[in-house]
Structure 1
Amino acid sequence: MSSILAGVDQRTRLAGHNRLELLLFRLGGGQRFGINVFKVQEVIACPPLTRIPDMSPIMCGAANLRGRTMPILDLSMSIGYNPSPRDGSGYVIVTEYNRSMQGFLVNSVDRIINMGWHEIQPPPKGAGKNSYLTAITEFEGEMIEVIDVEKIMQEAIGGGEAISDEMIESELAAQGQQILVVDDSMVARNQVKRVLDQLGVNCILTRDGDEAYRVLSGWADEGKDLSRFLTMVVSDIEMPKMDGYTLTTKIRQHPNMKNLYILLHTSLSGIFNQAMVEKVGANRFLAKFSPNELAKIVQAQVQSHAQREAA
C-alpha cells in the first residue's frame, strides 16, 4: 500500500506527455478495473461508516477523514455488480470529482501502471449508452476497464445542468457560431451540449483528442479559416488516444489552428491544471461542472468572437 501511495504522490510527473498512470483495483468478481491516478487523492483501508437516512442503495455511508465528512459509494454496485461487503473490509479510493471529494469502496487495490494514452482505447461501439466504461486497455493479457466516474456520480448524486435564467444574455450573438466539444465521457459531453443548447450555440461533439484533431485538420485541409469558423474549443484533459494537454499543444503548433480559443474543462485538480494551462498554451481552465460558470465563459467568448468578425 505504501508503494501505491508513493505513486499517487508522484502523479504530476507524466502531465503533458500524453501518458497516464492507472490505479488498478478489483471488485467482487475479480475483474480488474482502472481509474486515472490524477483523480486519486489517496487510498485507505475502509474507515468506520455512518449510515445516512434515505440514502441511495449504492451509498455505503459517510466517513470522517481528518475532520472532513465524505460520502462513500459502493463502486461494484454502482456499475451493476453485486454489492461489496459492508463489514469493514476492502479499501476506499478517495477521489476528487466535480469539485467535491468522495470515496469509492473496492474489494482490493492492485497496483499503478504507466501507459501512453495511445494504448487506451474507447469502449466498443456495441457497449451502448448505458455502459459505465469510458475506455479500455490491455495489461498482462487481461482487459482493463476504465470506468466513467462522471456517469456514476451523475446517477448517484445528480446535480443541476440548467443555466440560471439571469445568467443568459438576451443579446447574445450566437447565430452561426460553433464550438468544438472534446470529452471521452458521454455524460460530460451531453452536460456541455445542454449548456450550449440553452445558449443557442451550435456544437460539434468528439470523443477524444485524436478525433478532435482529425476533425480540425479536415477543416483546415478544406481551406477553412478556423479562427473565424470556430468560436472556441472546450476540451477535457484525460482522454484515450490523445489527452487535452497534447491536443492543445498540437493546435498551438498548427499555423491554421494556433489562434483558436481553448478552454480546458475537467474535474482534475484546479491548482495543478492552472500551471499546465500556462505550459501548453490554453486560454482558460474550468473545473467541472458548473453550468453557470461554463455559460459565463462561453458567452464572453461568443461576444468577443462576434465583435472580431464584425470589425
Structure 2
Amino acid sequence: MENKHKGILLETGTNELEIVEFTIGENRFGINVIKVKEIINPATITKIPGAHPFIEGIIEIRGEVLPVVSIAKALGLPDSTSPAQDRFIVAEFNKSKMIFHVHTVTQIHRVSWDKIEKPSEMYQGIESKIIGVVKRENGMILLLDFESIVVEINPSTGITKDQILKLGHRERSNKRVLIAEDSPLLRKLIQDTLGAAGYTNLEFFENGKDALTYFESVIADGKLIQDEVKILITDIEMPQMDGHYLTKRIKEDSQLSIIPVIIFSSLITEDLRHKGQKVGANAQVSKPEIAELVQLIDQLIL
C-alpha cells in the first residue's frame, strides 16, 4: 500500500515524530515515517552475484531498479518463519531510494523526541545500529540507524575525506564549531572530514537538548554567545530533542539567534526543505554532501 500518511506531516518544531513500527521476529523496531515512500508486499528478487551479505538482490518498481536490504541480516537476527507475511518498506533518504525487507508492519506511532532514550549496551550487540528507544506500555520499540546500515553496505555513500580534497588547499581555522549529532559513526566521520577541511576547534553533542543546555549555560554565565560559538551544525533525528526544535529554540532567543545554524541531515529533500526554513535555519544540506557543508560553513561562520 502507498503511504498516504505522508500528506499529514507534523507541525514543524514540535519535537515530535511519527514512526512506522515493524518487526523482525519477536523484536520491534521503528523507522521515521518521513523516510517511508510506501509499504508493499514482497516481489520477486533478482539475485546479484558478489553482493554485500545484507543485499538480497534487486527488484523493479515503477520503472526504478532498487536494492533490497535484509534488515534481519543487517542485525544478525534469524530470517522470517512466515515469509508470506513479510513486507517491503520502500524508503528514501540521503538522496537515494532502497527497500528494507522486514517481517511485519504493524502501526504508526506519534511520539515526542524527549520520550526517546539513548540506547545502551543492553541491546545485545546491535546498539551501534540503534539511535533511540521508545518505551511503550506493551514493550519497547528500537529506532534503527538506517544511515549506518547503508554506509556499512556501501562506504562510498557516506561522508569521506575525498570530498574535501576536491575543494583544494584550505587554510586552518580556530573558530569554534558546535555539532549536534547522535550517531557515533557520523560524529567520527564529521570530525575527520571537517578537520581535513581546516576546522579543528569542534565540540560535539549527542542530541539537541545537550546542545541547547550548553548555549543556555553560556548566557547564564554572562558571556556573549558569539564569543564562544561561531556556528552550529545539527542533525534532525536525535533523542531528547530533534534538530528542528533545537533550531527553533535558538532562533526565537534574542541572544542566541545571531548564531548561524546549518541543518545537516539525511532528511533534507525538496519536499521537506520547508520544515527547516520554517524554524529559521540559515542553510540545509543533505548527508553525505560534506563538501557542500564546508562551503556553507565558510560563508556563514561568524
TM-score with structure 2 setting the length: 0.91
Structure 1 251/129 Cα, relative in aligned 2: closer, same or farther at 3 Å? farther
Aligned counterpart for 1:119 among listed residues 111, 115, 120: 115
Q: Compute the displacement of 1:86 (Å).
A: 10
Structure 1 166/56 Cα, relative in aligned 2: closer, same or farther at 3 Å? closer
Give yes or no for the alignment of 1:35 onto 2:31.
yes
Native 8 Å contact 1:84 1:105 kept in 2: no
Q: Compute the displacement of 1:271 (Å).
A: 1.4
Segments of 4+ in structure 1 off by > 4 A?
A: 84-89, 125-130
Matching residue of 2:147: 150
Task: Report the aligned-residue RMSD.
Answer: 2.2
The CA distance in 2 between the partners of 1:158 and 1:97, in whole Å, is 15
Matching residue of 2:221: 222
Equivalent residue letter for 2:278: K
Q: What is the SS of the residue equivalent to 1:131?
A: helix
The CA distance in 2 between the partners of 1:129 and 1:298, in whole Å, is 34
Structure 2 unaligned blocks of 5 or more: none
The CA distance in 2 between the partners of 1:21 and 1:147, in whole Å, is 14
The farther-off stretch of 181-190 and 118-127 is 118-127
Q: Compute the displacement of 1:44 (Å).
A: 0.8
Q: Compute the displacement of 1:83 (Å).
A: 3.4
Give 1:92-241 correspondences, 5 Å limit: 92-124=88-120, 131-159=128-156, 161-162=160-161, 163-170=163-170, 172=171, 174=173, 176-201=174-199, 202-241=201-240
Structure 1 86/113 Cα, relative in aligned 2: closer, same or farther at 3 Å? closer
The CA distance in 1 between the partners of 2:272 and 2:293, in whole Å, is 17
The CA distance in 2 between the partners of 1:129 and 1:107, in whole Å, is 18
The CA distance in 1 between the partners of 2:121 and 2:230, in whole Å, is 30
What is the count of residue pairs matched by the alignment?
297
The CA distance in 2 between the partners of 1:46 and 1:269, in whole Å, is 28
Equivalent residue letter for 1:48: T
Structure 1 unaligned blocks of 5 or more: 306-311
Native 8 Å contact 2:35 2:93 kept in 1: yes
Equivalent residue letter for 1:189: R
Percent of residue pairs bearing the same amino acid type: 27
Matching residue of 1:308: none
Q: Compute the displacement of 1:129 (Å).
A: 9.0
Q: Compute the displacement of 1:258 (Å).
A: 0.8
Native 8 Å contact 2:130 2:142 kept in 1: yes
The CA distance in 2 between the partners of 1:166 and 1:114, in whole Å, is 42
Structure 1 260/140 Cα, relative in aligned 2: closer, same or farther at 3 Å? same
The CA distance in 2 between the partners of 1:208 and 1:93, in whole Å, is 27
The CA distance in 1 between the partners of 2:250 and 2:238, in whole Å, is 16
The CA distance in 2 between the partners of 1:213 and 1:226, in whole Å, is 12
TM-score with structure 1 setting the length: 0.88
Question: After superposition, what is the alpha-carbon deviation per residue over 1:133-155, rounded to whole angstroms, capped at 9, x for unaligned?
Answer: 11001123301111111211111
Q: What is the SS of the residue equivalent to 2:272?
A: helix
Question: After superposition, what is the alpha-carbon deviation per residue over 1:177-198, rounded to whole angstroms, capped at 9, x for unaligned?
Answer: 1111112222222222222111
Native 8 Å contact 2:12 2:279 kept in 1: no
Native 8 Å contact 1:39 1:269 kept in 2: no
The CA distance in 2 between the partners of 1:110 and 1:78, in whole Å, is 20
Equivalent residue letter for 2:77: Y
The CA distance in 2 between the partners of 1:7 and 1:278, in whole Å, is 22
The CA distance in 2 between the partners of 1:116 and 1:166, in whole Å, is 40
Give 1:3-42 correspondences, 5 Å limit: 5-10=3-8, 12-28=9-25, 30-42=26-38
Matching residue of 2:294: 295
Native 8 Å contact 1:60 1:86 kept in 2: no
